[in-house]
Amino acid sequence: LRYSSISKDEKTIRSHTGLTKAEFEALALVFGQEWEHYIRHYTWEGKLRQRQSRERRNSVLVTVEDKLLFLLYYFKLNPLQEVLATAFGMNQPQASKWLELLRSRLLGALDKEKVLPERKAERLYRVLSSETRVIIDATERSVGRSIDGETQKEYYSGKKKPYH
**pLDDT tens sequence for the chain (164 residues):** 899 899 899 999 999 999 999 999 999 999 999 999 888 888 777 788 777 666 666 678 889 999 999 999 999 999 999 999 999 999 999 999 999 999 999 999 988 888 877 778 888 888 788 888 887 777 777 777 778 878 877 777 666 665 55
Task: Report yes or no on 146 lying in a domain.
Answer: no
93 vs 52: CA distance, rounded Å:
26
Residue 31 near residue 3, CB atoms below 8 Å: no
Instruction: Classify residue 161: in a domain, yes or no.
Output: no
Judge whether 31 lies within some domain. yes
> 86, 80 in Cβ contact below 8 A?
no
Number of domains into which the chain is organized: 1
User: Per the domain annotation, does 36 fall within a domain?
Assistant: yes
Residue 147 lies in a domain: no
Question: SS3 for 141?
Answer: coil
Residue 40 lies in a domain: yes
- pTM attached to this predicted model: 0.71
Domain extent for 102: 3-112
Kindly state whether residue 67 falls inside one of the protein's structural domains.
yes
CB of 92 within 8 A of CB of 82?
yes
Nearest to 32 by CA among 75, 61, 1: 61
